[in-house]
Amino acid sequence: MTARPRHHLTGPQLARILNSQASHHPQMVRDMLRLSRGNSWYWQIFYDAARRDLEQSDFEHLRAAYQRARKISERLGEHYCQLGRGFKQFVESRGGPGGLSVVPVGKAIEVRCGLSIKVAPQLGLRCRDGRVEVLYLWPYEEPLAGPAAEVLLYLMWRHRAALHPGATPCVVDVRRSKDYHLPARGLAHVEKYLDVQIELFASLWGAVGGDLAA
């Protein structure tokens, strides 16, 4: 009988912990505990608007999302202004909204070392040339570092059949309009890195207490 995972994270939650400095990991885990208890809407407005605007040229929903965020707080409005600008640049890098289309993306669960990781990319994109990408969008203020991006790419690659067969994984640091793709040297080093980090974090989860609900 397979042991039930002791801890639960989403892919982006895990990537944010990996993306932080090692000395900050305990505080980051505490932050993830807090965020997982009700603040998922913070970036969801952006994800929904971006998905709806991919097939349109005027980015109407991103503008509406910015106005909505601004009413919540000036700071959130500033975040959404940066996100809107970066996402437009990303869309232009794919040839502009005309000819792009949204495709459905599945979900999967990766279980390793007592950790259950929810793999659920926010966006599926069919490009002009017929190629399909499954995308994790990184909306955060802190720049995305290579190791954290590679973990998200690894998770999408590993569960590609469940997400969208034949699709290419991609992670986009939205504010900086920077794409990350599967590394040319392969993924064996990512799997080893992930296992080491998960073992390291197990002690931190015990120290801060509680569970991270996906």
Share of the chain above pLDDT 70, in %: 81
pLDDT at 208 over 70: no
Q: Which pLDDT value is given to residue 214?
A: 34
State the Cα–Cα distance between residues 139 and 99, nearest whole angstrom.
Answer: 24
For 71-167, strand residue ranges (E) read 101-102, 108-112, 115-119, 123-126, 132-138
Whether pLDDT at 107 is above 70: yes
User: What does the alpha-carbon distance between residue 44 and residue 71 come to, in Å, rounded to a whole number?
Assistant: 16
- Domains of the chain, by residue range, sit at 1-36+103-202, 40-97
Kindly report, residue by residue over 6-64, the tens digit of the pLDDT: 567 889 988 988 887 655 666 666 665 555 444 556 788 899 999 888 877 789 999 99
Those residues whose C-beta lies under 8 Å from the C-beta of residue 90, and which sit 6 or more positions away, are 172, 174, 177, 179
